[in-house]
A and B are shown apart, each in its own frame.
Chain A
């Protein structure tokens, strides 16, 4: 009799738990699975086929797409572009970010106002930022018109010269992400205990020395966050390319992996090849961010 009651109670509780699970977890996880998780696996699968719009029959081709990609000079160029952008963004934004944070860290109204100026581009969409810069940098844009009025006959083609465009694009991305890095470094600076600064002062550590041996090592957690975040966002850059150069000038001088994936998938309609490229992109991001995160966290000091 009593066993019967406890059994019934257990079944009731299991029903209850299942009900809660269905209410709390199932809706969110189902949507996530449908629009993110399943598509990741599906991308990997399509990447192993030769599917394209003009081909009537899709076949499983194994790693053929991946092998073609690794041997393709076009893809090499795309990969190099993406790596250059990522390096410039990670290095440039970190250096400028920590410098601006050190310069503007004072707690007066002036510096607090100046800090918010640096944060404005972070709130703006990449499309807005790119259209602003495009208006400035196109050949008959506002910058070159101004330069010509100062008597400079042949101002550079900031976005039309294949040897310059990639650096212009990288610079614009640095400009937009700088505010983010500054805020993270400011938080890091605010977290450094006062006693450490005072001790350094008493020991006579000043200027570069003090930064190199005291401040910078203590900013390691901020450096880690900035580097990983900047790396991941720069590696997948699409919007800026679409607005500023549309992948050009010439044959893909500024084409990034993300841009190439979308172009191959939705313009050339080669789903198989594009998906293999997406798969490769995913693998590179996963490996690179894991390695960088590990390496950077190891150098974070404890105090």
Chain B
């Protein structure tokens, strides 16, 4: 056994390197000229250049900046609204213990596995009817409704771990349910809020079909849809495509790194036996 102690790190490094290769190609070629990309895609940039990055940042149609602005607005508003609404809904439903509450929970949980493609036709009609089709508020509304069941599920598990006596004591002191929730319950649910924010942040930033159909064509769409559009305009200019994706991924990657531990914890919550 001991003789082969080099084997495991070697195999691990080798497999990880193969797995990483596409990401390496995508990052390293951001900093190469177009002909260098095609000539030697695997080489490190001999003469590193920022031309691709500058080219993307100064596109005359403003594809990157418009897309970035829309993505930040859409993602930011959607996750904050969803988190607040889901925390309140989950808290009320867990504490009320009424039959209709349990029915409501069951209905919402079926919403967990609905593929967006299934509801797109009527969804566009709902949005047209209330005049929000092709607008950011419309897309925010869709995100809030679509991701609410997941967020409610996360919060429900958490509310159960908060002692009821805390709220009863506050009620005896004359605090309303609303005040109790904001001053006592919501601050205690910070870990659950963090999980919800990070999951939804990554998902909504990366969403494609929903913004594509709800926000429609033109520059009024998210950066993720912008990347899809750019494969047509950039054709074989791999350096520019990689630069656009690199810049579009930086914000969500930073956001992820800040909240990383909540993401992993949320992901593995159900994977172990308690």
Interface residues of chain A, those whose CB is within 8 Å of chain B, are 20-21, 23-25, 27-29, 31-40, 42-43, 46, 100, 103-104, 106, 110-111, 114, 117-118, 120-121, 123-128, 131-136, 140, 142, 145-146, 175, 178, 180, 183-188, 190-191, 221-222, 225, 232, 235-236, 238-239, 242-243, 257-259, 261-262, 265-266, 271, 274-275, 278-279, 281-282, 285-286, 289
Q: B273 contacts A42, CB within 8 Å?
A: no
Q: A242 contacts B249, CB within 8 Å?
A: no
Q: B88 contacts A131, CB within 8 Å?
A: no
Binds A, one of B45-53, B109-117, B161-169, B189-197: B109-117
* A residues near B248, Cβ cutoff 8 Å: 128
How many CB-defined contacts (below 8 Å) exist between A and B? 235
* B residues near A232, Cβ cutoff 8 Å: 113
State the CA gap A23–B177 with chains docked (Å): 10
Q: A236 contacts B19, CB within 8 Å?
A: no
Q: A184 contacts B19, CB within 8 Å?
A: no
Q: B38 contacts A118, CB within 8 Å?
A: no
Known: A31-B145, A191-B271. 13 other contacts (CB 8 A): A20-B92, A29-B104, A35-B119, A39-B119, A43-B118, A103-B11, A110-B12, A123-B202, A125-B207, A183-B264, A187-B271, A187-B272, A236-B117
* B residues near A178, Cβ cutoff 8 Å: 19
Main secondary structure of the interface of A (DSSP, over half): helix
* A residues near B13, Cβ cutoff 8 Å: 114
State the CA gap A281–B121 with chains docked (Å): 14
Given known A-B contacts A42-B122, A43-B118, A120 and B208 have beta carbons under 8 A apart: no
* A residues near B26, Cβ cutoff 8 Å: 132, 135
* A residues near B22, Cβ cutoff 8 Å: 132-133, 136, 175
At the interface, yes or no: B267 with Cβ under 8 Å from chain A?
Answer: yes
Q: B115 contacts A146, CB within 8 Å?
A: no
Q: A243 contacts B228, CB within 8 Å?
A: yes
At the interface, yes or no: B262 with Cβ under 8 Å from chain A?
Answer: no
CB closest chain-B residue, reference A113: B16
Q: B213 contacts A278, CB within 8 Å?
A: no
Q: B126 contacts A127, CB within 8 Å?
A: no
Q: A225 contacts B271, CB within 8 Å?
A: yes
* A residues near B213, Cβ cutoff 8 Å: 262, 266
Give chain A nearest CB distance to B257 CB in angstroms: 9
Q: B25 contacts A136, CB within 8 Å?
A: yes
What class of interface size applies to chain B in its complex with A? 35 or more
Give chain A nearest CB distance to B74 CB in angstroms: 14
At the interface, yes or no: B131 with Cβ under 8 Å from chain A?
Answer: no
- Most chain B CB neighbours (cut-off 10 Å) among A117, A140, A286: A117
* B residues near A40, Cβ cutoff 8 Å: 114, 118-119
* B residues near A124, Cβ cutoff 8 Å: 206, 249
Q: A221 contacts B272, CB within 8 Å?
A: yes
Give chain A nearest CB distance to B112 CB in angstroms: 9
At the interface, yes or no: B136 with Cβ under 8 Å from chain A?
Answer: no
Given known A-B contacts A146-B41, A274-B121, A285-B113, A28 and B152 have beta carbons under 8 A apart: yes
